[in-house]
């Protein structure tokens, strides 16, 4: 530990701001405080401090200084914090002065959190929860991230791992006493019983429809339909900004355009796509291919048709899509007479389809559509409060655990203890990877790289 360098960084947001928080972590944190402020405040108590350049003695700023001696700090190491005035020149001068203290250097992205992980203050799922909390854009995302940070999946995985290790110990005890004929069977049966129960528990968690991951990324709502129906106008209206180009020429949108929305506290990713039609233009063809692909993969499709043009049908882009996941949006109702509009909408071609009459240009009917979308998101996410899995990484680790438990169970009571033990060990290792207890060096860089500097 003594060889460790001391890191520092601006931990608060982009300057200028009223206050900027600069954190220092590592063995030389105390020295850095002494050099810059002349003293070390009492642990965990804010103290007024004059921050000076150690070389020239020039006063840089009047600040608040805090001292968190390890191991009872966020990272588990000695930490100092300076709350200075948030101007770029003040921050630059303090960082420059810190850089001249022996063994101190600027932190890499996520390096504070990485130290907290290495010192056992956070497990890997909590680290991911922390990253999600910083990135959370809606209240539902914030709640999910906080649950994960506080150990919802990490603690559960660790408890499962302990049970597997207990089962493994039973089987291994059986292997150690091969001469006493009765012992192994007596030990293996309860071990397999425990494995069976765990397999059921973890399997149930895997069968959650992926809503935890969806909450991180947002519910995918694709806007699709024939060219010129007003899809991009609708996207802009819902996003309340000009995110997509609108023009009177059919075939305007080519690329897929994504906009993140907060609908009643739930995250929705709205996807505008190219108008679907046959075309000779290779660029448009590619746009149409992507449009079909995104619509087929979306949770909900808003199929937009021009109400002033008759005979526009809904494309059967995916036979597996549930009808309730396609809503028909009759746009441009400002262009049709009252009567025609009412006739059209009271007799939808397919009774099973939900329809919304709107004018994307005037905003007519948009409130009803937004309310329906918010209700859809709320229903979709109503089960997420109990969702454990928020990332593909978690899903893969739990699936590997279940697969290993299945192999152990297949071996059965009459099976070879060595094989059962081996599979139980594999199950425990898969769970250990989830929380970062075993050989995860390869994924650490990937996880911490997503953090900002100063966290
Ligand atoms: N009158 C009227 N015109 C609209 C309405 N919504 C869109 N438009 C017009 O319809 C034309 C096409 O609109 P876009 O939003 O570009 O249509 P699109 O479906 O995205 O078209 P592509 O990207 O080519 O597939 C533009 O001239 C819009 O101004 C509406 O509610 N009423
Ligand atoms: Mg468009």
pLDDT tens digits for range 145-159: 999 998 889 999 999
378 and 396 fall within a common domain? no
Protein residue whose Cα sits closest to atom 24 of ligand 1: 251
Q: List, for residues 78-116, the tens digit of each pLDDT value.
A: 999 999 999 999 999 999 999 999 999 999 999 999 999
pLDDT at residue number 10? 96
Give the ligand at the shortest distance from the Cα of 234: 1
The answer to whether residue 116 sits within a structural domain is no
Protein residue whose Cα sits closest to atom 32 of ligand 1: 332
Q: List, for residues 54-87, the tens digit of each pLDDT value.
A: 999 999 999 999 999 999 999 999 999 999 999 9
284 and 269 fall within a common domain? yes
Non-local CB neighbours of 356 within 8 Å, separated by 6+ positions: 327, 328, 329, 330, 365, 368, 369, 372
pLDDT at residue number 343? 47
Which of 228-237, 276-285, 353-362, 412-421 has the least mean pLDDT? 412-421
Best mutation site among 227, 228, 242, 312 for ligand 1, i.e. most ligand atoms within 8 A of its Cβ? Answer: 228
Contact 173, 182 (CB under 8 A): no
Distances in Å between the alpha carbon of 357 and those of 101, 352, 372?
Answer: 67, 16, 13
Indicate which CATH number applies to the domain containing 401: 1.20.120.430
Boundary-marking domain end, from 384, 400, 419: 384
C-alpha neighbours within 13 Å on the C-beta side of residue 38: 12
Strand (E) or helix (H) holding 393: helix 392-411
Q: List, for residues 187-216, the tens digit of each pLDDT value.
A: 888 999 999 999 999 999 998 878 888 888
Q: How many Å lie between the centroid of ligand 2 and the Cα of residue 365?
A: 20
**How is residue 240 annotated by DSSP?**
T
Q: List, for residues 363-374, the tens digit of each pLDDT value.
A: 999 999 999 999
Contact 440, 433 (CB under 8 A): yes
- Give the pLDDT band (50/70/90) at residue 446: low
Indicate which CATH number applies to the domain containing 14: 3.30.1360.120
pLDDT at residue number 342? 47
pLDDT at residue number 453? 74
CA torsion sign, 69 to 70 to 71 to 74?
Answer: positive
Q: Which atom of ligand 1 is nearest to the CA of 364?
A: 31
Domain count, the chain: 3
229 and 130 fall within a common domain? no
374 and 239 fall within a common domain? yes
159 and 243 fall within a common domain? no
Please tell me the distance from the alpha carbon of residue 35 to that of residue 94, in angstroms, as a whole number.
Answer: 11
Contact 243, 260 (CB under 8 A): no
**Mean local confidence (pLDDT), 382-386:** 70
373 and 434 fall within a common domain? no
Q: How many Å lie between the centroid of ligand 2 and the Cα of residue 275?
A: 7
Contact 95, 61 (CB under 8 A): no
Whether residue 346 is predicted with pLDDT greater than 50 in this model: the reply is no
433 alpha carbon, distance to own chain's centre: 18
**Mean local confidence (pLDDT), 326-342:** 79
64 and 198 fall within a common domain? no
224 and 249 fall within a common domain? yes
Q: How many Å lie between the centroid of ligand 1 and the Cα of residue 64?
A: 56
Give the residue numbers spanning the domain of 322: 214-384
> What residues are in contact with ligand 1 under a 6 Å CB criterion?
227-233, 246-248, 250-253, 274-275, 331-332, 334-335, 359-361
**Mean local confidence (pLDDT), 282-308:** 92
- Give the pLDDT band (50/70/90) at residue 220: very high
Q: How many Å lie between the centroid of ligand 1 and the Cα of residue 442?
A: 49
Q: Which atom of ligand 1 is nearest to the CA of 225?
A: 19
Give the ligand at the shortest distance from the Cα of 276: 1
Q: Which atom of ligand 1 is nearest to the CA of 245?
A: 16
Whether residue 319 is predicted with pLDDT greater than 60 in this model: the reply is no
Whether residue 329 is predicted with pLDDT greater than 80 in this model: the reply is yes
Best mutation site among 222, 227, 233 for ligand 1, i.e. most ligand atoms within 8 A of its Cβ? Answer: 233
pLDDT at residue number 273? 96
Share of the chain above pLDDT 90, in %: 67
Best mutation site among 230, 249, 364 for ligand 1, i.e. most ligand atoms within 8 A of its Cβ? Answer: 230
- Supply the mean pLDDT for the chain: 88
Whether residue 272 is predicted with pLDDT greater than 60 in this model: the reply is yes
237 and 337 fall within a common domain? yes
**Nearest to residue 302, comparing CAs of 220, 364, 218, 222?**
222
Share of the chain above pLDDT 70, in %: 88
Please tell me the distance from the alpha carbon of residue 163 to that of residue 345, in angstroms, as a whole number.
Answer: 59
Please tell me the distance from the alpha carbon of residue 374 to that of residue 233, in angstroms, as a whole number.
Answer: 20
Protein residue whose Cα sits closest to atom 26 of ligand 1: 248
**Mean local confidence (pLDDT), 343-367:** 77
Tokens representing 284? Answer: 């448009």
Indicate which CATH number applies to the domain containing 222: 3.40.50.300
239 and 167 fall within a common domain? no
Assign 65 to helix, strand or coil: strand
Distances in Å between the alpha carbon of 184 and those of 166, 181, 194, 423?
Answer: 15, 7, 16, 17
Protein residue whose Cα sits closest to atom 30 of ligand 1: 332
């Amino acid at each position: 530990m003594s060889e460790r360098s001391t890191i520092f960084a601006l931990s608060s947001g982009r300057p200028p701001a009223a206050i900027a928080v600069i954190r220092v972590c590592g063995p030389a944190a105390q020295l850095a405080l002494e050099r810059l402020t002349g003293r070390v405040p009492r642990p965990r108590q804010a103290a007024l401090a004059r921050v000076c350049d150690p070389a020239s003695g020039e006063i840089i700023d009047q600040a608040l200084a805090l001292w968190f001696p390890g191991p009872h700090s966020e990272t588990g190491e000695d930490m100092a914090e300076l709350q200075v005035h948030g101007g770029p020149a003040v921050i630059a001068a303090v960082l420059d002065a810190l850089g001249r203290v022996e063994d101190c250097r600027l932190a890499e992205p996520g390096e504070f959190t990485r130290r907290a992980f290495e010192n056992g203050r956070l497990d890997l799922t909590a680290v991911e929860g922390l990253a999600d909390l910083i990135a959370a854009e809606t209240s539902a995302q914030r709640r999910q991230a906080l649950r994960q940070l506080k150990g919802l999946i990490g603690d559960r995985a660790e408890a499962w791992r302990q049970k597997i290790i207990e089962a493994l110990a039973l089987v291994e005890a059986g292997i150690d006493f091969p001469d006493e004929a009765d012992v192994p069977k007596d030990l293996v049966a309860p071990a397999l019983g425990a494995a069976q129960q765990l397999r059921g528990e973890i399997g149930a968690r895997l069968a959650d429809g992926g809503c935890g991951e969806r909450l991180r990324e947002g519910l995918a709502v694709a806007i699709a339909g024939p060219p010129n129906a007003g899809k991009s106008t609708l996207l802009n209206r819902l996003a309340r900004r000009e995110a997509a180009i609108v023009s009177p020429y059919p075939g305007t949108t080519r690329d897929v355009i994504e906009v993140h929305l907060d609908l009643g506290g739930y995250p929705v990713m709205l996807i505008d796509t190219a108008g679907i039609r046959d075309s000779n233009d290779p660029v448009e063809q590619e746009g149409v291919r992507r449009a079909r692909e995104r619509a087929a993969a979306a949770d909900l499709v808003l199929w937009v048709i021009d109400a002033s043009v008759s005979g526009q049908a809904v494309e059967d882009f995916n036979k597996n899509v549930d009808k309730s996941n396609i809503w028909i949006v009759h746009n441009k109702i400002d262009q049709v007479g009252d009567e025609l509009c009412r006739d059209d909408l009271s007799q939808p071609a397919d009774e099973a389809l939900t329809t919304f009459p709107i004018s994307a240009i005037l905003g007519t009917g948009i409130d009803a559509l937004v309310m329906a979308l918010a209700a859809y998101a709320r229903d979709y996410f109503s089960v997420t409060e109990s969702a454990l899995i928020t990332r593909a990484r978690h899903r893969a680790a739990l699936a590997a655990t279940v697969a290993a438990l299945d192999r152990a169970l297949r071996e059965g009571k009459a099976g070879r203890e060595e094989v059962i033990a081996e599979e139980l060990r594999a199950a425990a290792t898969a769970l250990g990877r989830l929380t970062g207890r075993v050989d995860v060096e390869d994924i650490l860089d990937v996880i911490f790289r997503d953090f900002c500097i100063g966290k």
